[in-house]
Structure 1
Amino acid sequence: MGLDGNEESGTTQVPSKSIFRYNSPLVQVSLIGLVCFCCPGMFNALSGMGGGGQVDPTASNNSLTALYTSFAVFGILGGGIYNILGPRLTLLSACLTYVLYAGSFLYYNHHQHQLFAIIAGAILGVGAGLLWAGEGAIMTSYPPADRKGTYISLFWSIFNMGGVIGGLIPFVLNYHRTKAPSVNDGTYIAFMCFMFVGALLSLAILPPSRVIRDDGTRCTNIKYSNVSTEAVEIVKLFRNWKMLLIFPAAWSSNFFYTYQFNHVNGALFNLRTRGLNNVFYWGAQMLGSIGIGYLMDFSFQSRRARGFAGIGVVGVLGTAIWGGGLANQLHYSTNDLPVKLDFKDSGVDFAGPFVLYFSYGLLDAMFQSMVYWIIGALADDSEILSRYVGFYKGVQSAGAAVAWQVDTKHKSPMFQLVLNWSLTTLSYPLLVVLVMLAVKDEKKAEEGAEKEANPSSNYPASVK
Structure 2
Amino acid sequence: MADHTAMPATSEKAQVPPDVVSAGSYDSRTHSGEEAGSFERPKTWMYRSIKVGPFKLPYYASPPFQLLIVSLVCFLCPGMFNALGGMGGGGQVDPRAANDANTAVYATFAVVGFFAGTITNTLGIKFALSFGGIGYSVYVAAFLCYNHTQNYGFTVFAGALLGVCAGLLWTAQGAIMMSYPSEDSKGRYISWFWMIFNLGAVIGSLIPLGQNINTTTNSAVNDGTYIGFLVLTFLGAVLAWCLVDAKNVVRKDGSKIILMKNPTWQTEIKGLGETFITDPYILFLFPMFFASNWFYTYQFNGVNLAFFNTRTRALNNTLYYIMQIVGAFVFGYALDQAKVRRSTRAKGAWAALFVLTMIVWGGGYAFQTGYTRGLVNAGSATKNDPSDDYVKKDWTDSGYIGPMFLYMFYGFYDAAWQTTVYWFMGSLTNNGRKLANFAGFYKGIQSAGAAIIWAVDNKGVPFMNIFASCWALLAGSLIIALPVILMKVQDTVPIEEDLKFSDETIADVAPQQTLNQKS
Task: Tell me the TM-score normalised to structure 2 length.
Answer: 0.83
Q: 1:435 aligns with which of 485, 494, 506?
A: 485
8 Å CA contact retained: 2:259, 2:433: no
Pair 1:340 & 2:389 matched: no
Q: Structure 2: how far apart are the matches of 1:274 and 1:373?
A: 31
Identity %: 43
Question: Could you say which residue in structure 2 is the equivalent of 1:3?
Answer: none
Q: Structure 2: how far apart are the matches of 1:74 and 1:304?
A: 33
Shift of 1:249: 0.2
Tell me the alpha carbon deviations over residues 236-294 of structure 1, each in whole angstroms, 9 at most, x when there is no partner.
44564222111100000000000000011111111011111111101101100111111
Q: 1:9 aligns with which of 7, 13, 22?
A: 7
Question: Could you say which residue in structure 1 is the equivalent of 2:92?
Answer: 54
Matches within 5 A, 1:263-412: 263-298=302-337, 300-333=339-372, 336-337=375-376, 338-343=390-395, 345-347=396-398, 349-412=399-462
Structure 2 counterpart of 1:234, which letter?
L
Tell me the alpha carbon deviations over residues 168-205 of structure 1, each in whole angstroms, 9 at most, x when there is no partner.
01111111222252000110000011101111110111
Q: Structure 2: how far apart are the matches of 1:300 and 1:104?
A: 50
Q: 1:450 aligns with which of 499, 508, 517?
A: 499
Task: Give secondary structure in 2 for the equivalent of 1:273.
Answer: helix
Q: In 2 relative to 1, CA 14–165 (structure 1 residues): closer, same or farther, beyond 3 Å? A: same
Pair 1:122 & 2:173 matched: no
8 Å CA contact retained: 2:260, 2:502: no
Q: 1:414 aligns with which of 456, 461, 464?
A: 464
8 Å CA contact retained: 1:85, 1:224: no
Task: Give secondary structure in 1 for the equivalent of 2:439.
Answer: helix
8 Å CA contact retained: 2:325, 2:415: yes
Q: 1:90 aligns with which of 128, 135, 138?
A: 128
Question: Could you say which residue in structure 1 is the equivalent of 2:150?
Answer: 112
Shift of 1:14: 4.1
Tell me the alpha carbon deviations over residues 58-115 of structure 1, each in whole angstroms, 9 at most, x when there is no partner.
0000000011000001111111111111111121111111000000000111111210
Shift of 1:436: 2.1
Q: 1:136 aligns with which of 153, 169, 174?
A: 174
Question: Could you say which residue in structure 2 is the equivalent of 1:252?
Answer: 291
Task: Give secondary structure in 2 for the equivalent of 1:84.
Answer: helix
Structure 1 counterpart of 2:469, which letter?
L
Q: Structure 1: how far apart are the matches of 2:63 and 2:280?
A: 30
Q: Structure 2: how far apart are the matches of 1:336 and 1:299?
A: 52
Shift of 1:453: 4.6
Shift of 1:7: 8.2
Question: Could you say which residue in structure 2 is the equivalent of 1:462?
Answer: none
Pair 1:227 & 2:265 matched: yes
Structure holding more helix per residue: 1
Q: Structure 2: how far apart are the matches of 1:246 and 1:445?
A: 22
8 Å CA contact retained: 2:258, 2:502: no
Question: Could you say which residue in structure 2 is the equivalent of 1:459?
Answer: none
Shift of 1:314: 1.3
Task: Give secondary structure in 2 for the equivalent of 1:331.
Answer: coil
Which segment is superposed worse, 228-237 or 240-249?
A: 228-237
8 Å CA contact retained: 1:59, 1:114: yes
Q: Structure 2: how far apart are the matches of 1:179 and 1:203?
A: 42
Shift of 1:381: 1.6
Question: Could you say which residue in structure 1 is the equivalent of 2:61?
Answer: 23
Task: Give secondary structure in 1 for the equivalent of 2:482.
Answer: helix
Q: 2:139 aligns with which of 101, 107, 111?
A: 101
8 Å CA contact retained: 1:76, 1:234: no
Q: Structure 1: how far apart are the matches of 2:70 and 2:146?
A: 30
Q: Structure 2: how far apart are the matches of 1:453 and 1:292?
A: 31
Q: Which has the larger radius of gyration?
A: 2
Q: Is there any run of 5+ residues in structure 1 with no aligned partner, and where?
A: 1-5, 456-464
Shift of 1:295: 1.4
Structure 1 counterpart of 2:281, which letter?
K
Which segment is superposed worse, 176-185 or 22-31?
A: 176-185
8 Å CA contact retained: 2:259, 2:432: no
Q: In 2 relative to 1, CA 335–350 (structure 1 residues): closer, same or farther, beyond 3 Å? A: farther
Structure 2 counterpart of 1:191, which letter?
F
8 Å CA contact retained: 2:141, 2:226: yes
Structure 2 counterpart of 1:154, which letter?
W
Shift of 1:224: 4.5
Question: Could you say which residue in structure 1 is the equivalent of 2:512?
Answer: none
Q: Structure 1: how far apart are the matches of 2:117 and 2:259?
A: 17
Q: In 2 relative to 1, CA 449–221 (structure 1 residues): closer, same or farther, beyond 3 Å? A: closer
Q: Structure 2: how far apart are the matches of 1:189 and 1:351?
A: 32
Q: In 2 relative to 1, CA 340–209 (structure 1 residues): closer, same or farther, beyond 3 Å? A: same
Q: Structure 2: how far apart are the matches of 1:167 and 1:145?
A: 34
Shift of 1:221: 5.1
Q: In 2 relative to 1, CA 48–231 (structure 1 residues): closer, same or farther, beyond 3 Å? A: same
Structure 1 counterpart of 2:67, which letter?
V
Question: Could you say which residue in structure 1 is the equivalent of 2:507?
Answer: none
Structure 2 counterpart of 1:107, which letter?
C
Structure 2 counterpart of 1:99, which letter?
S
The aligned length equals: 447
Task: Give secondary structure in 1 for the equivalent of 2:293.
Answer: coil
8 Å CA contact retained: 1:53, 1:182: yes
Q: Structure 2: how far apart are the matches of 1:247 and 1:404?
A: 19
Task: Give secondary structure in 2 for the equivalent of 1:298.
Answer: coil
Question: Could you say which residue in structure 1 is the equivalent of 2:82?
Answer: 44
Which segment is superposed worse, 429-438 or 149-158?
A: 429-438
8 Å CA contact retained: 2:372, 2:462: no
Tell me the alpha carbon deviations over residues 284-337 of structure 1, each in whole angstroms, 9 at most, x when there is no partner.
011001111111110653111111111111110121000000000012249933
Structure 2 counterpart of 1:413, which letter?
F
